[in-house]
Structure 1
Amino acid sequence: MNYRFITIEGNIGAGKTTLANMLARHYHAKLILEEFADNPFLPKFYEKPRQYAFPLELFFMAERYKQLKDMLQTQDLFSDVVISDYLFIKSLLFARINLAEDEYNLYQKLFEIINPQLVQPDLLIFLNAPVSRLQQNIRKRNRSYEQQIEDEYLLKVQQMYTQYLKQHAVRTLMIDTTQIDFLANPGHFTLILQALEKEYAPGIHYLEANGQ
């Protein structure tokens, strides 16, 4: 497995943290997990999104930047494997959805100052799931402040990720979680491990249940 820094992304409830933990255990890798529970604005945002969107997104960006900067500075990316359950660009993508135009313009300027300072992943694993599956997972993990997330919001997030991946030549392994159940099916997890042994060109590559 030649990828030293792998990031896992997907919509809310797609299974990012679950897969990150599984891969980190398998590869004895350094694990970087988003510390969303530390964001004091998150429950407030779901209650009053317009009022708390800007401090929410600023807090997330600052925390993600600090965490990635601190973790990656201490790693030897030539010998150590690092697995993260978020991509720093998600700060900008969620801000595009949640912020008013003037707030987003300011946010984008701040993002463009700090983003070049971070190491970019060698491979992005994107977990794709329909909204119905996402809602099932959200209900199952039972975080109180997430239970009121509407389908429309999840669709906006999905569309934002899709647009980003189409516009940028990110080396991406796309996994349909309705076809590949890496948690319940050990064979499906093996498929992912086998896929990570392959070299991919920039762009989107699809992993099917038959391993193709």
Structure 2
Amino acid sequence: MKYNFVTIEGNIGAGKTTLAHLLSKHYNARLILEEFADNPFLPKFYENPKQFAFPLELFFMAERYKQLKELLHTQDLFNSITISDYLFTKCLLFAKVNLPADEFRLYQNLFDIIHQQLVQPELLIYLHSPVSRLQQNIRKRNRSYEQQIADDYLFSIQETYTQYIKQHNIKTLFIDASNADFLGNEKHLQIVIEALDKEYEQGQHYITLP
């Protein structure tokens, strides 16, 4: 592979963790997975977003920073490749959707201080799926607190991600994951592996799975 640090992103239910596991196994890479289940505010947020959005996002930012800081600044003699299933900037993107303007300004000030201290990925893989497919995946994995997520919320997250990627001209493999089956279809995984063996310019590079 041409890259030592690759991050996979996408909306809720896009398949980030599945692809991260498969790529880390293929490359014998170090794997960084988001520890979302440890956030005590997550179920509360889905029940009462206005009340719990700010502590939810603060907790996520602190935990993601701690995890990435420890892992990315620790020398690993056996693994030269790192695969992560989240981008630290997702803190800011979700906060933009979830927080009112005054709280978001405060959050962004904290984010800007922390963000510059972290190593950034060399390449982003973005999995783009229609909301109907996301909802299907969310139902399938059956996390109780996710089952009432509204389509509008998923649309907002999707739009925020795509705007950010395009505005900042991030080096991105933008994958149409509408029919992705990385576990069941070896060809889908192989297409991603072959794509990771190429050098890319800044900006978005689009991949469609058969």
TM range, normalised to the smaller chain?
over 0.9
Unaligned 5+ runs, structure 2: none
Give the match for residue 189 of structure 1. 189
1:13 aligns with 2:13: yes
TM (norm. structure 1) is 0.96
Deviations 1:135-172 (A, max 9, x none): 00000000000000000000000000011011011110
Shift of 1:179: 4.2
8 Å CA contact 1:43, 1:145 repeated in 2: yes
Give the match for residue 30 of structure 1. 30
Q: Where do 1:65-104 residues align within 5 Å?
A: 65-76=65-76, 80-104=80-104
1:39 aligns with 2:39: yes
- CA–CA separation in structure 1 for the residues paired with 2:131 and 2:124: 21
- CA–CA separation in structure 2 for the residues paired with 1:96 and 1:42: 17
Secondary structure of the structure 1 residue equivalent to 2:116: helix
Shift of 1:76: 5.0
Secondary structure of the structure 1 residue equivalent to 2:126: strand
Deviations 1:35-94 (A, max 9, x none): 0000000000000000000000000000000000000011359x6100000000000000
Return the letter of the residue paired with 1:158: Q
Secondary structure of the structure 1 residue equivalent to 2:198: coil
Shift of 1:188: 1.3
Aligned structure 1 segments of 4 or more residues deviating by more than 6 angstroms? none
Secondary structure of the structure 2 residue equivalent to 1:31: strand
8 Å CA contact 1:179, 1:208 repeated in 2: no
Q: Which moved more, 1:126-135 or 1:176-185?
A: 176-185
Shift of 1:180: 3.8
- CA–CA separation in structure 2 for the residues paired with 1:109 and 1:81: 31
- CA–CA separation in structure 2 for the residues paired with 1:76 and 1:174: 29
Give the match for residue 116 of structure 1. 116
Give the match for residue 145 of structure 1. 145
Secondary structure of the structure 2 residue equivalent to 1:117: coil
8 Å CA contact 1:96, 1:104 repeated in 2: yes
TM (norm. structure 2) is 0.97
- CA–CA separation in structure 1 for the residues paired with 2:75 and 2:40: 29
Give the match for residue 176 of structure 2. 176
Return the letter of the residue paired with 2:29: A
| Identity in percent | 67
Unaligned 5+ runs, structure 1: none
8 Å CA contact 2:95, 2:104 repeated in 1: yes
Give the match for residue 106 of structure 1. 106
Shift of 1:181: 2.5
Return the letter of the residue paired with 2:48: K
Shift of 1:208: 2.3
8 Å CA contact 1:4, 1:82 repeated in 2: yes
Q: Which moved more, 1:174-183 or 1:126-135?
A: 174-183
8 Å CA contact 2:57, 2:95 repeated in 1: yes
- CA–CA separation in structure 1 for the residues paired with 2:195 and 2:183: 16
Deviations 1:186-209 (A, max 9, x none): 011111100100000110001123
